[in-house]
Every structure is written in C-alpha cells, then in structure tokens.
Amino acid sequence: MEMGVLGADLPVAPDVVELALGLIAFLVLLFLLAKFAVPRFEALFAERADKIEGGIEKAEQAQKAAAEALDRYRAQLADARAEAARIREEARAEGERRRAELRAEAQDEARRLIAQGEADLTEPRGRVMAEMRPELRRLAVELAERIVGEPLADEAQRRGTVDRFLAELERR
C-alpha cells in the first residue's frame, strides 16, 4: 500500500501513470470537442437564432401590414359612412324640395280653382241680381211702406231707400 500525501495509508490510491493518461485523454477530447463540435453547435445555434429573428421580423412585418390594412379599412369605412350620410342628406333635401314644389303647385291649383269657382259664381249671381233687381225694388218699397206706415210717394226717397237696401243685400 502506498502512503498518501500526509503519510496516511489510502485504501484506494490512483496510479500516477493512469492519472496522467486519463488527463491526456481528457485534454485530447477537450481539444477535439473545441476544434470540431463546438463550432458546429455554435453554427447551428446561430442559424436557429437567425431563423427565429427572421420569423420575428416577418411576424412584425405581417402585424404592421395587418395594422395598415385595418387602418385603410377603417378609413374606407368612414368614407363610406360619410358618403352614405351625404347621399341620405341629398335625398332628404331633394324630397323636401320636391314636397315644397308639389305643395306650391297644389296651392296654385287650389287658388286657380277657387278663383275659377268664384268667377263661375259671380257671373250667375250678377245676372240673377240684375234680373231680380226690379222685383226687389218693388218689394223693398212695399216693405218700407209697411214699416213706415205711409206710402213713399217721392221717387227720390223711394230710390234712396231701395238702393240702400240693395247695397246691404249685396254686402251679405
């Protein structure tokens, strides 16, 4: 048995040659890994990072494009609503204008019909009054004589009374 570092007996003591060979093998393996495997892992890692970053950039671009499309859609929708409101307002104004025209036409037609009716009534009324004037004079004189209680002998007095009566009758 060998003696350890402090002089104590060690039950399991490594062999120095074995330890040196293990250390050399470890260093060779470490060198080979550093020379060949690590650069490959780094390249794969960088490639994957680039793909992820590219995907993120594409996603950001897609999101930006979607936001722009949404803004365009909202602007078009606002324009369409404004156009619809303008068309509704024009239609309402046109309807009001047409209604006013029709109302004015109807009022003109009503005035024309009323004037025509009055003219149609005025002519026969005047004719009837002219035809009945002598009879009305006679009746007016008779009535006046009854009211006054004496005959109206004076032609001027009779004519004035009759004319007042007829004027009163025409006003009604």
Residue 22 tokens, joined: 């293990």
pLDDT for 154-170, tens place per residue? Answer: 676 667 766 777 777 77
Q: DSSP letter at 36?
A: I
Position 1 confidence tier, pLDDT thresholds 50, 70, 90: very low
3-state secondary structure of 9: strand
Cβ(129)–Cβ(135) under 8 Å? Answer: no
Return the pLDDT at 69: 94
Region 140-148 average pLDDT = 72
Region 127-132 average pLDDT = 77
Measured between alpha carbons, how far is residue 10 from residues 7, 19, 84, 171 in Å? 9, 16, 99, 155
Q: Is 136 exposed, middle or buried (0-12, 13-18, 19+ CB in 10 A)?
A: middle
Residue 141 tokens, joined: 């004189």
Residue 55 tokens, joined: 């995907």
Cβ(122)–Cβ(147) under 8 Å? Answer: no
pLDDT for 44-84, tens place per residue? Answer: 999 999 999 888 888 999 999 999 999 999 999 999 999 99
Compute CA 57 distance to the chain's CA centroid, rounded to the nearest angstrom.
40
Regarding pTM above 0.85, the answer is no
Return the pLDDT at 152: 65
Q: Which of 35-39, 95-99, 107-111, 128-132 has the lowest mean pLDDT?
A: 128-132
d(CA 152, CA 140): 11
pLDDT value at 11 more than 50 = yes
Compute CA 70 distance to the chain's CA centroid, rounded to the nearest angstrom.
20
For 149, left (φ over 0), alpha (ψ -120 to 50), or beta? left
3-state secondary structure of 3: strand
pLDDT for 82-126, tens place per residue? Answer: 999 999 999 999 999 999 999 999 999 999 999 888 887 777 777
